[in-house]
């Protein structure tokens, strides 16, 4: 049996967390809920129904739509046995989820309209995330450092070269302390140690 093999369980536990289907459904749903709440804050209906009601309604609608779309995309991906970045999965899921939600919302005419809207919007967003993911990853690595063990990774935020703030390494810190001691000795302040400060 494959489940009794310890190497199989190690391979499953070493999978990157971004490959989880839960992350591809829950994270976009939460983000859509936050965006929906923001859209409710600036909605023209907020004066009529009230700000909290408007924000909650928009947040719920955005989250429901996103959860349906992402769930359909995962289902299509599993059914077609393709990866999560396949754009045809996005188009099929957008068409299907738009048709179902449109039918529930406004009948057969709305089903066609929403299926086309979800297909275009969902595929466009997925295409954008596929294209932006390497750019954002390289930006993150340039700011936070690489995760490779071959390079020194302090886990510290790297500041740009033009920044006046510099993070000193051990050698630079020792040189700075030596300069400070020499400066204090010249001014007649005596030996400056950490215990005195």
> What are the structural domain ranges in the chain?
20-81
| Average pLDDT score over residue span 64-91 | 87
- Residue 34 binned pLDDT confidence (cut-offs 50, 70, 90): very high
Q: Where are the alpha helices (DSSP H) in the chain?
A: 6-13, 21-41, 46-49, 51-80, 87-106, 108-144, 170-187
pLDDT interval class at 15 (50, 70, 90): very low
Supply 138's token pair: 């390289």
Supply 52's token pair: 């909290």
pLDDT value at position 120?
A: 93
Lowest-confidence pick of 7-11, 57-61, 83-87, 145-149: 7-11
Residue 145 has pLDDT above 90, yes or no: no
- Which residue in 176, 179, 160 sits closest to 168, CA to CA? 176
Mean predicted lDDT score pLDDT of the chain = 78
Residue 100, classified by CB atoms within 10 Å of its CB into exposed (0-12), middle (13-18) or buried (19+), is middle
User: What per-residue confidence (pLDDT) applies to 47?
Assistant: 83
> Does 156 have pLDDT greater than 70?
no
- Which range has the worst mean pLDDT, 7-21, 28-42, 48-62, 84-98? 7-21
What are 112's two structure tokens?
């066609």
Select the more confidently predicted residue: 18 or 139: 139
Give the global pTM: 0.60
In the numeric block, the tokens 């790297």 are attached to 158
């Amino acid at each position: 049996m494959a489940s009794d093999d310890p190497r199989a369980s190690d391979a499953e536990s070493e999978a990157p967390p971004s490959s989880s289907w839960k992350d591809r459904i829950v994270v976009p749903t939460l983000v859509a809920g936050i965006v929906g709440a923001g859209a409710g804050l600036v909605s023209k209906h907020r004066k009529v129904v009230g700000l909290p009601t408007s924000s909650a309604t928009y947040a719920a609608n955005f989250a429901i739509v996103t959860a349906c779309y992402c769930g359909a995309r995962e289902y299509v991906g599993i059914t077609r046995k393709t990866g999560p970045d396949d754009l045809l999965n996005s188009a099929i899921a957008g068409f299907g989820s738009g048709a179902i939600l449109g039918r529930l919302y406004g009948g057969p005419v709305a089903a066609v309209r929403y299926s086309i809207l979800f297909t275009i919007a969902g595929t466009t967003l997925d295409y954008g995330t596929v294209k932006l993911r390497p750019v954002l990853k390289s930006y993150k690595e340039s700011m936070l450092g690489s995760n490779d063990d071959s390079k020194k990774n302090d886990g510290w935020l790297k500041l740009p070269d033009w920044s006046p703030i510099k993070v000193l390494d051990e050698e630079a810190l020792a040189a700075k302390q030596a300069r400070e001691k020499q400066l204090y000795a010249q001014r007649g302040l005596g030996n400056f140690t950490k215990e005195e400060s």
